[in-house]
Amino acid sequence: MNTTTKSDTLATRTRAVLLAGVRGLALSLSVLPVAVLCFTLALVSMALIPIGIGLFTTPAILGAVRRFADVRRRLAAEWCGIGIPSAYRPIPADAKPWTRTYAMLRDPAVWRDLRWLQVDMTAGFVTALLPGLLLLYPLEGFLVAGLWGSLSGLDGYWYGFVHVTDQGSAFGAGALAAALLLLTPLAPRSLTVHFKLTRAVLGASQAELAERVRVLTETRRDAVDTSAAELRRIERDLHDGAQARLVAMGMDLGTVEMLLDKDPEKARQLLAQARQSSAEALTELRDLVRGIHPPVLAERGLGDAVRALALRLPLATEVSVELTGRADAPVESAAYFAVSELLTNAVKHSGADRIWVDVHHAEGMLRITVTDNGKGGAVAGAGSGLTGIERRLGTFDGVLAVSSPPGGPTMVTMEIPCALS
Ligand SMILES: Nc1ncnc2c1ncn2[C@@H]1O[C@H](COP(=O)(O)OP(=O)(O)OP(=O)(O)O)[C@@H](O)[C@H]1O
Ligand SMILES: [Mg+2]
């Protein structure tokens, strides 16, 4: 029983050592070329920013560096259970090249990636290579001892400090290899050291994570505030609308009851009035329900719901939609109400005669632009509409960008990171 357990732990350990060796070897072989290439390209690209070319290449290269770093984060978690936090700032993907480049260069996480590349191609490479060496080097010693005599090239071979000149020294090499074999249990630890080093250089600092938490807490509070405000609006709409109509209808019907025998003509008039009130109450309730979650949005998705919105506008509106699936209901709903507000703004404030709406999804980002050819001058903060959209999108880490120079045109872009089903 005891021997079985012992051999089990030995087998597990051997497997762990072999696995660490193979993983370390594969990692070190990929680390060096990729890290050197990424770092060189990033430097060259940033040097080319002043002449313009770098504006286009830098975001792409820094994006590739980020993906390289993310792969290492994943491996650290899967192989050694080490979590490496990341805190990149979201960047609107279809912003102008200069804006994108500038935003990336201002992100401390991007500079940390570049520092990490330098560590990764030196100390990182060595710590990743070590587990492989711990396995391969003893193997070499055994091969020297075993193949001495059959391979002529081995005469005068140096294995560590052993100079192999005859069968005796070849066995010496074998003995050294056997001694070195005792060090192989260090292989998994060396791999762990590699990822701990990676975490030390690449991991987001406590301050940044705290800042991220602060932003999330704030947007969550905004979301709660927004839904409380939404509830108050619904309450108000019900109170001033449908409830008032029903009260009026009740009073009309009461009077009808009294007048039925005395003045049938007047009673008929009041009945017609009550019927009218009931129809109005019904319309208001329908509008209210549509305002909470429009049926067309639930049934046909964002694209059709936006088209339906556009159809109701008094201006010529062109809608183009490129969606391969459906986003989550809360995202769809936020996007729908945001578009609805932007269209209302365009009709109310812009004096435009045309509106264009573009809805598409690419690279994990839902992107919506609403453009009008009106007089421009839109600013978030002047009313509650645009700030409300910012808050709504903030809940999903989405962003709103308004470009509206005096004289127009106005182009409002929204981006929400999300996946389509
Ligand atoms: N498409 C547009 N063209 C020109 N000006 C605009 C446009 N959209 C918004 N604006 C300007 O920006 C301001 C802010 O818009 P916002 O939607 O935040 O507030 P609002 O529409 O005035 O009020 P609310 O939306 O709260 O009813 C508006 O008052 C208007 O002057
Ligand atoms: Mg508005």
155 and 197 assigned to the same domain: yes
Tell me, using a 6 A CB cutoff, whether residue 390 lines ligand 1: no
Question: Looking at the predicted structure, is the pLDDT value of residue 259 above 60?
Answer: yes
Tell me what the mean pLDDT of segment 152-165 comes to: 82
Q: What's the mean pLDDT when you consider all of the chain?
A: 87
Task: Determine contact, residues 140/177, Cβ cutoff 8 Å.
Answer: yes
pLDDT tens for each residue of 192-231: 999 999 999 988 777 777 887 888 888 888 878 777 877 8
The H or E element containing residue 355 is strand 354-362
191 and 52 assigned to the same domain: yes
Q: How confident is the model at residue 251 (pLDDT cuts 50, 70, 90)?
A: confident
118 and 223 assigned to the same domain: no
Distance 387 CA to ligand 1 centre (A): 10
The more confident residue out of 240 and 317 is 317
Question: Looking at the predicted structure, is the pLDDT value of residue 240 above 80?
Answer: no
* DSSP assignment letter at 107: -
130 and 45 assigned to the same domain: yes
183 and 226 assigned to the same domain: no
pLDDT tens for each residue of 46-96: 999 999 888 889 999 999 999 999 999 999 999 999 989 888 887 766 677
Best residue among 315, 339, 349 to mutate for probing ligand 1's pocket (most ligand atoms within 8 Å of CB) is 349
Distance 307 CA to ligand 1 centre (A): 22
The residue whose two tokens read 């556009």 is: 310
Distance 79 CA to ligand 1 centre (A): 52
Domain boundary among 269, 292, 315: 292
197 and 213 assigned to the same domain: no
59 and 87 assigned to the same domain: yes
Tell me, using a 6 A CB cutoff, whether residue 371 lines ligand 1: no
**Atom 15 of ligand 1, nearest CA residue:** 383
Tell me, using a 6 A CB cutoff, whether residue 343 lines ligand 1: no
223 and 126 assigned to the same domain: no
Distance 338 CA to ligand 2 centre (A): 10
Cis peptide before 409 (omega within 30 of 0): yes
- DSSP result, 50-106: GGSHHHHHHHHHHHHHHHHHHHHHHHHHHHH-------PPP--TTS-HHHHHHHHHH
Neighbouring residues of the ion ligand 2, judged by CB less than 5 Å:
345, 385
Kindly state the tokens that stand for 279. Answer: 């129809």
How far apart (Å, rounded) are the C-alpha atoms in residues 221 and 33?
46
Tell me, using a 6 A CB cutoff, whether residue 372 lines ligand 1: yes
12 and 154 assigned to the same domain: yes
| Contact residues for 86 (Cβ-Cβ < 8 A; gap 6+) | 69, 70, 73, 109, 202, 203, 204
Tell me, using a 6 A CB cutoff, whether residue 122 lines ligand 1: no
239 and 253 assigned to the same domain: yes
- Residue 399 pairs in a beta bridge with 415
**Atom 17 of ligand 1, nearest CA residue:** 385
**What's the longest Cα–Cα distance across the chain?**
134
Tell me, using a 6 A CB cutoff, whether residue 382 lines ligand 1: yes
Question: Looking at the predicted structure, is the pLDDT value of residue 44 above 90?
Answer: yes
Number of domains in the chain: 3
Q: Which ligand is nearest to the CA of 402?
A: 1
Q: Which ligand is nearest to the CA of 370?
A: 1
Tell me, using a 6 A CB cutoff, whether residue 350 lines ligand 1: yes
pLDDT tens for each residue of 382-412: 888 898 888 888 888 889 999 999 998 999 9
How far apart (Å, rounded) are the C-alpha atoms in residues 381 and 378?
9
197 and 212 assigned to the same domain: no
**Atom 20 of ligand 1, nearest CA residue:** 383
Q: How confident is the model at residue 126 (pLDDT cuts 50, 70, 90)?
A: very high
**Atom 22 of ligand 1, nearest CA residue:** 383
pLDDT of residue 1: 45
* CA distance readout (Å), 285 to 69, 246, 279, 338: 53, 11, 10, 22
Distance 384 CA to ligand 2 centre (A): 7
70 and 150 assigned to the same domain: yes
Best residue among 226, 342, 344, 345 to mutate for probing ligand 1's pocket (most ligand atoms within 8 Å of CB) is 345
Q: What percent of the chain has pLDDT over 70?
A: 97
Domain boundary among 144, 178, 202: 202
Question: Looking at the predicted structure, is the pLDDT value of residue 255 above 80?
Answer: yes
Q: How confident is the model at residue 129 (pLDDT cuts 50, 70, 90)?
A: very high
Task: Determine contact, residues 24/191, Cβ cutoff 8 Å.
Answer: yes
Kindly state the tokens that stand for 181. Answer: 């074999």
Distance 382 CA to ligand 1 centre (A): 7
Coil, helix or strand at residue 310: helix
Domain boundary among 292, 325, 360: 292
pLDDT tens for each residue of 21-32: 999 999 999 889
CATH number of domain containing 312: 3.30.565.10
316-322 and 354-362 strand pairing:
parallel
Distance 347 CA to ligand 1 centre (A): 10
Among the atoms of ligand 1, which is closest to the Cα of residue 348? 21
Tell me what the mean pLDDT of segment 100-110 comes to: 87
Distance 383 CA to ligand 2 centre (A): 6
pLDDT of residue 4: 59
* DSSP assignment letter at 324: S
pLDDT of residue 92: 66
**Could you tell me the residue range of the domain that residue 122 belongs to?**
2-202
* CA distance readout (Å), 64 to 38, 58, 397: 8, 10, 22
